[in-house]
Structure 1
Amino acid sequence: MPQNPVPPIARVAAPGKLLSDADVVALVAEACPEADYRGRRVLLIIPDHTRTAPVGLLFKTLFARFGEVAAAFDILTALGTHAPMSEEAIRARLEITAEERCGRYGRVRFFNHEWDNPAALRHLGTIPAEEIRTLSDGLFSMDVPVTVNRRVDDYDQIVIVGPVFPHEVVGFSGGNKYLFPGVSGPEVLNFFHWLGAVITTVGVIGHKWTPVHHAGAMVRTPKLC
C-alpha cells in the first residue's frame, strides 16, 4: 500500500459553485504523493456509463500525477451485470480521444468486469448466515459466498473513482460498492438485491453498515476511494 497512508481528505465547493480543475489537481496531489506510487501496479475501478461523475477529469488528473512512474496504470469497469463497454465507450467515459488513447495513454489497459465468467473470479470467503441474520434483523439467513474479479489481486493499489449516492440495494454507492457488486461474482451480487427486497428500500437506503462492507474487508489489496 502507499508508504504513508493519508487521513481523509476533502474539498468542499462554495455554495452555488463547483470545484475547479485546479481544486481537483490540488486534492489529488495531496491524497496521492507521487513517490508512494512509483514502481507500483495501480488499478483504477470506474463506473460504467450508467453513473454520473467527472470520471474523465479524475482519470486524467491521476494519470498526470503518477501514471508515468507507476509500473502499471490500468482501468477495470465496474459493470455489475451490465453489458461490457466497447473500447470507444470506455474512451468516451474517460473523455479521451482515439489519438490520446494511442499516444499519451497508450500504456493504459482497459478491462471489463466479467461477472458470469467463473475463470475471471476468485473466491474470497463466506459471509456466514449468522451475520446475515443480524444485518437483516432475522429476516434473512444464509451463507453467502464472496467472489471478486481476479484482477484485484494483480495490483499493489486499487483506486476507486466514482460518485457516492444513497443506494436502494447497498445503502450507499461508492467505495466498496464498486467492488461488491461492481466487480463481484453472481452469488453476492444476486444476494444483495434479494436482501434489499426483503429488508425494503427504507431499511437499506442511506445505511452505512451493510454486507457490502463485510465483503469489502475480504479484499486485501489496499484501496483508495
Structure 2
Amino acid sequence: MTQIEADLIGGPDQHVIDDQLDAFIQKSLAGADLDGKDVVLVIPDGTRSCPLPLVLGLLHRHLVDKVAKLTAVIALGTHSYMEPDEIARMVGGDPEETYPGMAVVNHEWADPDMLVNVGHIPGERISELSEGRLDVGANILINRHVVESDVAIVVGPVFPHEVVGISGGNKYFIPGVASQEFIDMTHWVGALITSYEIIGTTGITPVRAMINEGAALIPTQRLALCLVVESGSGLIEAAAWGTAEDSWAKAAAIAAETHVKYVEKPFTRVLSIMAERYEDIWTAAKGFYKLEPAVADGGEVIIYAPHVTEVSETHHEIHEVGYHCRDYFVKQWDKFKDVHWGVLAHSTHLRGKGTYNAETGEEKLRVKVTLATQIPREVCESINLGYLDPAEVDIAAFEAAPDTFVVPNAGEVLYRVR
C-alpha cells in the first residue's frame, strides 16, 4: 500500500481558487496509486454546506478514466434517503449526465443487505475509549460499497460538531456509512459528555476515539480530502489530503480557528436563522448546538426555520420521549434504555444543559428553546419545546433589539464566551 503523506493548501481566512484546488487534487490523486482500482468517494449529504459540484467534478475528471470503478456514496448516517431530484441539486446535475461512469448512491443504512460486518469492539475496549462512560461491545457494520472497494476517499467539510468535537475524517465512515447500532452508541457517549462540553473540541475526543477504532476495522484503504468551507459564501478556505486521520487533523485545526467565534458576554436571546438544507428539526437543531455555549442562564434560542414542517423524517420516537437534559434520561435509565440511544442523544443535544431531580420529578433547564417553524404549538409543547408563530418573526425588529443576537445561516459557526 502506498504511503500517503498529508498535504495542505490554504489556511485560516484564505480562499483557495479553483485552479489551485484542481492542481492540488491532481497532485494528490497522482501520488495515491489508484489506477485500475475500485474507488469509492464518501460524500456529504444535503445538510452540509460545501461546493460539492466543484470538488466532485474535479475528482471525477481526474479519476474516471484511470480507475476500474467509481462510486460516490452519500454519507447519510441515519438521515433520510435523498431523492433523485435532491441528489441532482446537491451534486450539480443529473449524476448520469454530469458524472458519466460514476454512480451516486445513498448509504442505505436501513437495508441489512447493504451492510457488512467488518469486526467487533469488545465492551472492555469501548470502556477504555469512552473513558468509562460505556462498556457495551459492538459489531461494526459498514456500507457494502465501501467495504468491497479497494480505496475509499472521504470528500467533505469539517465543522465544530455536537457529538465528536470537530466533524469530518473518519466520521464520514462512522456514522456516515455505518449501521444504526454503533451510531447510537457513539452519539450517546457524546450526550453523556454533553454537547456544551464537547462541541468544537479539537484532538481525539472519546467519541472520535471510538469512531477511529471502528473505522480501523474497515479493510479498505481510507483516504480523505478534508475541506474547510467558509460559512455563508461556500468558498474553500483550506483543503487537506492524506489518510482519514492525518488530513482531518490538519483541517480540524483550521476549522477550530475559522469556525469558532468568541464573544465578550453571553447572549440573552438568539434568533438562529436556518437554511433550507436543514429539512427537519433533527438537522436544524444545529442552530441551537452552535449557540448554546454563548447563551446566558435563563436565556433563549429561537430556531427560525419557517420551511420546516416536522421534527424528524425518520426518528419518530422523539415524539414519545420529547426533549430533555441528559440527567432526565440517566436518572430514569430503566425507563428509557430501550429507546434508540441516538434519539436520546439528539434530545439532550437540543435541550442543552440542565438538572433532573428523580425524587421530585423536577427538571430544570438552563436555556429556553423555541421553534419558529410550521410545527404546530401543541406539538412543540408536547415535546417540551417553546412555540413562536414564524409569521410573527420580524427579523429587522430582532436585529434592532438590544438584547438579541441574530445569526444568519446558523448551524456551522460555533459561538463561545471568551
TM norm. shorter chain > 0.5: yes
Q: Following TM superposition, by how much is the alpha carbon of 1:35 offset from its aligned partner in structure 2, in angstroms?
A: 8.2
Q: Could you tell me which amino acid in structure 2 is paired with residue 163 of structure 1?
A: P
Aligned length: 219
Q: Following TM superposition, by how much is the alpha carbon of 1:213 offset from its aligned partner in structure 2, in angstroms?
A: 0.6
Q: Could you tell me which amino acid in structure 2 is paired with residue 27 of structure 1?
A: F
Task: Name the CA distance, whole Å, in 2 between partners of 1:199 and 1:16.
Answer: 31
Pick one of 18, 21, 26 that aligns with 2:18.
21
Identity of aligned residues (%): 34
Task: Name the CA distance, whole Å, in 1 between partners of 2:97 and 2:193.
Answer: 49
CA deviations on 1:118-151 (whole Å, 9 max, x unpaired) are: 1111112222212222233323211122111111
Pick one of 130, 133, 150 that aligns with 1:136.
130
Task: Name the CA distance, whole Å, in 1 between partners of 2:80 and 2:140.
Answer: 22
Q: Could you tell me which amino acid in structure 2 is paired with residue 139 of structure 1?
A: R
* Matched residue SS, 1:130: helix
Match of 1:211 in 2: 210
Task: Name the CA distance, whole Å, in 1 between partners of 2:159 and 2:56.
Answer: 20
Match of 1:150 in 2: 144
Which ranges in structure 1 are unaligned for 5 or more consecutive residues?
none
Task: Name the CA distance, whole Å, in 2 between partners of 1:82 and 1:7.
Answer: 33
Q: Following TM superposition, by how much is the alpha carbon of 1:44 offset from its aligned partner in structure 2, in angstroms?
A: 0.7
Cα–Cα, structure 1 residues 103 and 199, in superposed 2: closer, same or farther, change >3 Å?
closer
Match of 1:12 in 2: 10
CA contact (8 A) 1:34 1:65 kept: no
Task: Name the CA distance, whole Å, in 1 between partners of 2:32 and 2:186.
Answer: 38
CA deviations on 1:160-217 (whole Å, 9 max, x unpaired) are: 1011123221233111101100110111011111111112225543242420111111
Task: Name the CA distance, whole Å, in 2 between partners of 1:34 and 1:137.
Answer: 38
Cα–Cα, structure 1 residues 88 and 5, in superposed 2: closer, same or farther, change >3 Å?
farther
* Matched residue SS, 1:161: strand
Which ranges in structure 2 are unaligned for 5 or more consecutive residues?
225-418
Write the mapping of 1:3-152 to structure 2, written as runs, cut at 5 A: 4-13=2-11, 16-33=13-30, 36-95=33-92, 97-98=93-94, 101-103=95-97, 105-152=99-146
Pick one of 161, 178, 181 that aligns with 1:184.
178
- Residue 219 of structure 2 is aligned to residue 220 of structure 1: yes
Cα–Cα, structure 1 residues 85 and 198, in superposed 2: closer, same or farther, change >3 Å?
same
Cα–Cα, structure 1 residues 194 and 18, in superposed 2: closer, same or farther, change >3 Å?
same
RMSD of aligned residue pairs (Cα, Å):
2.0
Q: Following TM superposition, by how much is the alpha carbon of 1:70 offset from its aligned partner in structure 2, in angstroms?
A: 1.3
CA deviations on 1:46-71 (whole Å, 9 max, x unpaired) are: 01000112221111111111212211
CA contact (8 A) 1:73 1:109 kept: yes
CA contact (8 A) 2:4 2:32 kept: no
Which entry has the higher C-alpha Rg, 1 or 2? 2
CA contact (8 A) 1:79 1:113 kept: yes
CA contact (8 A) 1:136 1:199 kept: no
* Matched residue SS, 1:85: coil
Task: Name the CA distance, whole Å, in 2 between partners of 1:34 and 1:70.
Answer: 14
Q: Which has the higher strand share?
A: 2
CA contact (8 A) 2:69 2:102 kept: yes
User: Which structure carries more relative contact order (alpha carbon 8 Å, separation 6+)?
Assistant: 1
CA contact (8 A) 2:60 2:102 kept: no
How does the TM-score come out when normalised to structure 2? 0.49
Task: Name the CA distance, whole Å, in 2 between partners of 1:35 and 1:195.
Answer: 35
